[in-house]
Amino acid sequence: MLKRFTAVCVHNVRFSAHVVVLCKVSRAEPPYLTVGTDVSAKYRGAFCEAKIKTAKRLVKAKVTFKPSSSTAVVHDEHIRGLLKVGAVVEARNQDGIYQEATINKLTDASLYTVVFDDGDEKTLRRSSLCLKGARHFAESEASPLSDFSLV
């Protein structure tokens, strides 16, 4: 899935520039982000470069139990196995017993505190963060900020 954001990044900048930020959400992304990860974080409607300082992890998985085919949402601390969509794991059911299940969906409801380049901090949910990478800035690199007038 491709999310497209058009915004003006004004964090620690004395001028404004039109920037297009693309956030590619893929199944290859980890179910949660770790401290020290470089991200683009939403700040006043724009995405600006930042680094994760702290993370209060909360990952939920929608699972289908075998053989009953019943479904439930389970917190990641109650799952034994690889946190990945399609993975067969052992998950704790409503009776508190671990049984075989398949992960159908992962939701990162964690809270992340990020630090921007100028030292400012902000606590955000995963939906306000994009992983930085070569493909992340593909469209904005086509029109670098140096091409924009600073006046």
Which DSSP string do the residues of the chain spell out, in sequence order?
Answer: -EEEEEEE--TT-SS--EEEEEEE--TTS-SS--TT-EEEEEETTEEEEEEEEEEE--EEEEEEETTT--EEEEEGGGEES--STT-EEEEE-TTS-EEEEEEEEEEE--EEEEEETTS-EEEEEGGGEEE--TTTTHHHHHS-GGGS---
Residue 98 one-letter amino acid:
Y
**Residue 116 included in any domain:** no
pTM for this one? 0.67
Question: 104-116: per-residue pLDDT in tens?
Answer: 999 999 999 999 9
Q: What is the number of domains present in the chain? A: 1
Evaluate whether residue 86 is within a structural domain.
yes
Q: Tell me the CATH number at 67.
A: 2.30.30.140
Decide: residue 149, CB within 10 A, 0-12 exposed, 13-18 middle, 19+ buried.
exposed
Q: What's the whole-number average pLDDT of the chain?
A: 78
Whether 95 is in a domain gets the answer yes
**Across residues 90-98, what is the average pLDDT?**
95
Domain span at 104? 59-108
Residue type for position 76: D
Asked whether residue 120 is assigned to any structural domain, the reply reads no
Predicted local confidence at residue 151, as pLDDT? 52
Residue 53 belongs to some domain of the structure = no
Considering 6-10, 15-19, 31-35, the range whose residues carry the highest mean pLDDT is 31-35
Share of the chain above pLDDT 90, in %: 58
